[in-house]
Amino acid sequence: MKKLLFTLSCLLCMPMSYAQLAFSVMDSIDANRINAAVLVHGDMWWNPVTLRAHCKFPADSKKHVGFAAALWMSAYDDAGQLHVSAQTYRQNGNDYWPGPLDASGALDYATSEQWAKIWKVRRSDVALHLSNIMHHTGNTPEAVLTWPAKGNAYAAGKDGVPLTITEDMAPFIDVNGDGTYQPLKGDYPDIKGEQILFWVFSDNGPSHDETSGKPLKVQVHALAYAYKRNTLIDYVVYHDYTVINKSGQDYENMRMGIWEDVDLGYYLDDFIGFDSAHRMAVTYNGTNNDGVVAGHPDNSYGSNPPARGLTFIRIPGDRPDNIIPAGSFMYVSNDPSILLLTITDTTYDCYLRSKYPDGRPLTYNTDSARWTAAGGTPRNYVYTDDPSGIWSECSDRDNPGDRRYVLASNDFTLPAGAKERLVMALVVDSSAGGCPVIENFNGLRQVADTAWQHWQQAVSVRDVSSPLQWLTVHPVPATQFVSIVMPVTPVSGSVLSVYNALGQRVLQQPAGQLATTLDIGTWPTGYYTVVVTGEEYIYRGRLIKQ
């Protein structure tokens, strides 16, 4: 509650213009064991109205594995001037605003309000859309119809306001290859997982007063998605950011990173660490009894608490044959002697580069086997060992507390008009335990490996016009029995559904065999669509009842 009251007091001191301008629009990825919120101002995992965490694990509990986080960026132009954009708790204002930049690299408030929306599509929405032989506004799921993709005449923003989209925006499958999104001609959102969220924000909107620095004039296309497979992938939520440079100038020494105020259950007994091989920031409990010092509030995990990680799966500079290291992992302290100096744009840039706010580098003193603010060897990452190792908060016997950090990419160049991506995954180990029970991060590493492998191997829902995507249905037409044959033996969990010409589902059953026979003798005559949905595919075929 202490943190909540402190943040609230800051917000109450804010000029009213901030409160009037900011949007509280949010939605959640809630497809698997994690329920994680995203917001339209580039922040996530909290609720700006209640000022409380919204990163639930388990998804239906009052417990959270995160409190607040946001994308941070900094870069230098040709003249050596620093440009910075970041977001924290909004008490200083907002660097990011929902919506795309115009031709001059600006975003006005009216446009921002129209784009203050998070679009959410479920896999079932796409399956229903694909089941229809003919498409019209009445049988097209709203999420598919209003998807904010290039050229969509039905795209709708906040409160249903029509949007005109002439540039590449939300990803989609272009069935007829004409370069525009036309859902009534069969186009559909290109999704991964059980559900996907899409939103857009930019850093040169109505204000830029979180950092009070020079904006980069970049536009960010953001995705969040999750899978449910009853495997370790159920403990993963993906975030995918595409950053587009619309400033008209080149940037050097640019970094992208994630700032986070973690709060693993009860917020005053946490530790942090870093696994460089997985580019993963780790948060675990400083004791094996989360919340015991506060009498176990309802947001605490108690004995054997989980651990959680944030792993960078793709960063600028990665190549198929060369996965580069992360640039930095730096703790952010709320100790007034360290953090609360004069906060300027350089403060944010320093944290993205493992430096203290005054520009001193993070160092490691081998004599005391501890990090220190003066002397020692400069380091890019803090606390790089497992809890049982030499350099960890657990082995150093630090006092558990309220932890914040910044995990950042390495330096890269972003030319005018170019784009770069940052893909990360929130991963949870449900039974890690706290210090000193937890000796290593191997449980988290297994979940992170699953997240990496799934991302590298996964293919999204593909164009069903491909011959390999069609089911074999015979005889056509049929009067009594019809055989449905898959291209390959369906994986466990696949579902066979049949829809009539109105898009109404008339049958649903497990699809566990290569061939399935249906008795349609009592069905009304007409056209039907057969759809088989699996982990990473949707197959369909046409059935005619005579």
Q: Which residue type, as a one-letter code, is found at position 433?
A: G
Q: Is the pLDDT of residue 341 over 80?
A: no
523 in the same domain as 439: no
Please tell me whether residues 424 and 318 are part of one structural domain. yes
Are residue 403 and residue 499 in the same domain, yes or no?
no
CA distance 448 to 374: 34
Q: Which uninterrupted H or E stretch holds 186?
A: none
Is residue 137 one of the residues assigned to a domain? Answer: yes
Residue 343, pLDDT above cutoff 90: no
- Which pLDDT does position 511 carry in this prediction? 87
Considering its fold, how many domains does the chain have in total? 3
Work out the pLDDT band at 463, boundaries 50, 70, 90.
very low
Looking at the fold, whether 331 and 283 belong to one and the same domain comes out as yes
Structure tokens at 413: 């160049």
Q: In terms of Cα–Cα distance, which of 147, 327, 313, 148 is closest to 238? A: 313
Report pLDDT digits (tens) over 359-368: 889 888 655 4
Q: What is the DSSP letter of 541?
A: E
Q: What kind and span of H or E run contains 194?
A: none
286 shares its domain with 213: yes
Whole-structure pTM value? 0.83
Least confident range of 5-14, 288-297, 489-498: 5-14
Give residue 10's pLDDT band: very low, low, confident or very high (50, 70, 90).
very low
In terms of C-beta density within 10 A (0-12 exposed, 13-18 middle, 19 or more buried), how is residue 135 classed?
A: buried
Residue predicted with more confidence, 295 or 342: 295
Q: What is the pLDDT of residue 339?
A: 45
Residue 14 is predicted with a pLDDT of: 37
- Alpha-carbon distance of 475 to 132, in angstroms, equals 20
Domain with residue 527: its CATH number is 2.60.40.3080
Q: Secondary structure of 396-458 in the HEC alphabet?
A: CCCCCECCEEEEECCCEEECCCCEEEEEEEEEEECCCCCCCCCCCCHHHHHHHHHHHHHHHHC
Q: Name residue 180's amino acid.
A: T
CA 371, 377, 379, 384 torsion-angle sign: negative
CB of 306 closer than 8 Å to CB of 57: yes
Q: Give percent helix, percent strand, percent coil of the chain, each to the nearest 5.
A: 15, 35, 50
Looking at the fold, whether 453 and 506 belong to one and the same domain comes out as no
* 263-314 residue pLDDT tens: 999 999 999 999 999 999 999 999 999 999 999 999 999 999 999 999 999 9
354 & 244 share domain: yes
Per-residue pLDDT band for 201 (boundaries 50, 70, 90) equals very high
Q: How far apart are CA 313 and CA 279, in angstroms?
A: 8
Rg of the chain, C-alpha, whole Å: 25
- Boundary of a domain, candidates 457, 475, 497: 457
Residue 365 lies in a domain: no
Q: What is the mean pLDDT of residues 440-468?
A: 71
Residues 415 and 531 in one domain: no
| Domain end (from 457, 475, 501) | 457
Evaluate whether residue 92 is within a structural domain. yes
Domain span at residue 55 reads: 2-96+203-221+233-359+397-457
Closest-CA residue to 280 (of 456, 457, 407, 392)? 407
For residue 388, being part of any structural domain is answered with no
Residue 131, pLDDT > 90, answer no
38 forms beta bridges with: 27, 44
* Token digits of residue 26: 């949010």
CB atoms within 10 A of CB 474: 11
* Tens-digit pLDDT profile for residues 212-257: 999 999 999 999 999 999 999 999 999 999 999 999 999 999 999 9
Q: Using the 8-state DSSP alphabet, how is residue 490 labeled? A: P
Residue 307 sits in a domain of what CATH number?
2.70.98
Q: Does some domain include residue 419?
A: yes
Q: How confident is the model at residue 28 (pLDDT cuts 50, 70, 90)?
A: very high
Residues 215 and 319 in one domain: yes
Report yes or no on 524 lying in a domain.
Answer: yes
Residue with the larger pLDDT of the pair 341 and 39: 39
| 194 and 216 both lie in a single domain | no
Co-location of 490 and 512 in the same domain: yes
**CB-based burial label for 106 (10 Å; 0-12, 13-18, 19+):** middle
Write out the DSSP string of 315-328.
Answer: -TT-BTTB-PPPSE
Q: Is 378 domain-assigned?
A: no
Mean pLDDT of 373-398: 87
Establish if 541 belongs to a structural domain.
yes
Tell whether the model's pLDDT for residue 460 goes beyond 90. Answer: no
Q: Same domain for 169 and 313?
A: no
| DSSP string of 464-476, one letter each residue | TTSGGGBPEEESS
Out of 406, 432, 457, a domain closes at: 457
